[in-house]
Amino acid sequence: MFRRALVTGGAGFIGSHLARALLGAGLEVVVLDNLSMGKVENVPRGAHLRIGDVRSEADVRAALDGVDVVFHEAARVSIRASIKEFFADADTNFMGTLNVLRSAAGSGVRRLMFASSMAVYADSPTPDPIDENHACEPISPYGVAKLAAEKYCLQLAREMGIDCHVLRYFNTYGPGQTFTPYVGVITIFIRRLLAGEAPTIYGDGEQRRDFVHVSDVVAANLLAMNSSLGSGVFNVGTGRATSVNDIAALLCARLAPDIRPIHLPPHAGELRYSIADISRLRDTLGYRPRAVLADELDAIIAHHRDDQSSA
């Protein structure tokens, strides 16, 4: 159906896993990444890396040569940082997306998958799964930019004759996630525990999240690419709630049973409850998340051990 894919942010965590899967599915793959967070070594063998920025029309147009399907993964991914650095956040996550749309106009692109986020939603009063009709009232600049970009993608892609699927990722985890102090609580906790340091929990730790493995996020993208639907908005998660305290307990038990987490005041802009109702993705596209959090932790720990030992 499709021959050549562009993965923006394809040298990053989710993008590199996606690029590898697309190659495995027989597509030619172009990766566009400015390497601000991504790494050259993440780009799978066989993919063509173009070092460039999604905010540059020339870079995106060059990367789109011969492309018929786009996976727009490139983003600044930090709710906390988006508050202090709101301009930079919007410049990449909103204006960068508009540039991808502008550059795709009149090209050979027939389908666009846009990586959105659970951050577009309003906080939920209970730890029950929320569907795609839940109120979209973001409490962070990151969520605001993602929601605005969603609306532009859905409206303008239709005008351009491009199919568009918006995938709202919940808390994605897995091997290869770049360590930062702001993103990926599982990665952050593992790195601290491997260094003999206590994990830091902001708030009481009873905030609950839907942790979805990167392999399931990739599977959702491939289902969207191959679907007969012209457009759609889908939650990508598991439907299961896990507290931050639960994550800390699981990791401490594996890595440092004598260490106890440190609690600090909560951060602004972060949702208390965020669990996906995945029935639309399941019933419409046949999505079935396969990874189980507790079963995946050892592989992630081993990845970070290897990463630290080679540093």
Enumerate the active-site residues: 142
Contact 249, 211 (CB under 8 A): no
Strands, DSSP E only, in the chain? 4-8, 28-33, 48-51, 69-72, 111-117, 163-169, 171-173, 200-202, 208-209, 211-213, 231-236, 242-243, 262-264, 273-274
Q: Which residues contact 169 (CB under 8 A, 6 or more apart)?
A: 14, 115, 116, 117, 118, 212, 217, 236, 237
What's the chain's length in residues?
311
Identity (one letter) of the amino acid at 166?
V
Q: How far apart are CA 292 and CA 297, in angstroms?
A: 9
Identity (one letter) of the amino acid at 31?
V
Q: How far apart are CA 147 and CA 94, in angstroms?
A: 9
Burial class (CB in 10 A: 0-12, 13-18, 19+), 295: exposed
Burial class (CB in 10 A: 0-12, 13-18, 19+), 270: middle
